[in-house]
Structure 1
Amino acid sequence: MLNIPNFLTLLRIALVPYIAMRLLDGAYATACVLFIISALSDWVDGVIARHWNQRTRFGAMADPLADKLTMLTVTLLLTYLHALPWWFTLAVILRDVLIVAGALAFHFMIGQLVMAPSRISKLNTALAFILLVTVLAIEAGFLPDGPWRAALLYSTFLTTVLSGGWYVYVWGRKAIEARKAI
Structure 2
Amino acid sequence: MTPEGAPAHQLLTLPNLITLARLASVPATIWLILHHRLDIAFLLFLAAGLSDALDGWLARYTNSRSAIGALLDPVADKALLISVYVTLAAMGVLPDWLAILVVFRDVVIVGGLLLLWMLGARTAIKPLYISKLNTAMQLILAGFALFHAGFGVELHLPLLVLIWLTAATTLWSGLAYVLAAGHRLKAPPT
The TM-score with structure 1 as length reference comes to 0.95
* Deviation at residue 50 of structure 1 after TM alignment: 2.2
* Deviation at residue 142 of structure 1 after TM alignment: 5.6
Higher alpha-carbon deviation: 56-65 or 155-164:
56-65
Higher alpha-carbon deviation: 54-63 or 66-75:
54-63
**Cα deviation 1:71-119 (Å, max 9, x = unaligned):** 0111011001000111101111110000000001111103311111111
Which residue pairs with 2:125 in the alignment?
A: 115
Contact 2:121/2:184 (<8 A) preserved: no
Which residue pairs with 1:76 in the alignment?
A: 86
**Structure 1: 4+ residue segments shifted above 6 A:** none
SS in 1 for 2:186: helix
**Cα deviation 1:21-76 (Å, max 9, x = unaligned):** 11111011100000010111011111111233211111111111111100011101
* Deviation at residue 124 of structure 1 after TM alignment: 0.5
Which residue pairs with 1:181 in the alignment?
A: 189
SS in 2 for 1:143: coil
- Tell me whether 1:66 sits opposite 2:76 in the alignment: yes
Superposed, 1:23-38 pairs within 5 Å as 23-38=33-48
| Root-mean-square deviation (Å) | 1.2
- Tell me whether 1:4 sits opposite 2:18 in the alignment: no
Change (3 A) 1:23 1:164: same
How many residue pairs align between the two structures? 180
- Tell me whether 1:141 sits opposite 2:151 in the alignment: yes
CA distance in 1, matches of 2:124, 2:63: 20
| Structure 1: gaps (5+ residues) | none
Higher percent of residues as helix: 1
Which residue pairs with 2:25 in the alignment?
A: 15
| Structure 2: gaps (5+ residues) | 1-9
The TM-score with structure 2 as length reference comes to 0.91
Letter in 1 for 2:49: A
- Tell me whether 1:131 sits opposite 2:156 in the alignment: no
Identity %: 34
Which residue pairs with 2:60 in the alignment?
A: 50
CA distance in 2, matches of 1:169, 1:89: 23
CA distance in 2, matches of 1:139, 1:120: 28
